Amino acid sequence: MMSRSSFNDIMRQLYRLTTDELSEAWDTYKEAVDTLETGNRTQVSVMQNLPMLNSEMRLRWRTNMAEQGIEMTPIQVDQYMSILELAMEI
């Protein structure tokens, strides 16, 4: 797991996040790392495959999330995918 300062530096460089956004992103990162370490096979597989989705599939995933009550903007989807990549160290 990377340090919080390294994570913040990367996310600031990629997305110019505010302090509050960085705090939320860090929490998401920690949850992703925890899931990768302790999650079941399905959870880990989904997390590993999400960053590989093309634009059309990301839109479908985003729509599915919205139908479940989790609204995300396109940039938030990109940020989430970046967080997953950092958690998986890819």
**Residue 85 and residue 66: Cα distance in Å, rounded?**
22
Determine what percent of the chain is predicted with pLDDT higher than 90: 98
Please tell me the predicted confidence (pLDDT) of residue 53: 95
What's the structural domain count of the chain? 1
Please tell me the predicted confidence (pLDDT) of residue 90: 81
Residue type, 69: G
**Residues spanned by the domain of 39:** 4-88
This prediction has a pTM of: 0.91
Taking each helix axis from N to C terminus, what angle separates 19-38 and 74-88, rounded to the nearest 10 degrees? 50
What is the tens place of the pLDDT at every residue in 16-72?
999 999 999 999 999 999 999 999 999 999 999 999 999 999 999 999 999 999 999
Please tell me the predicted confidence (pLDDT) of residue 77: 95
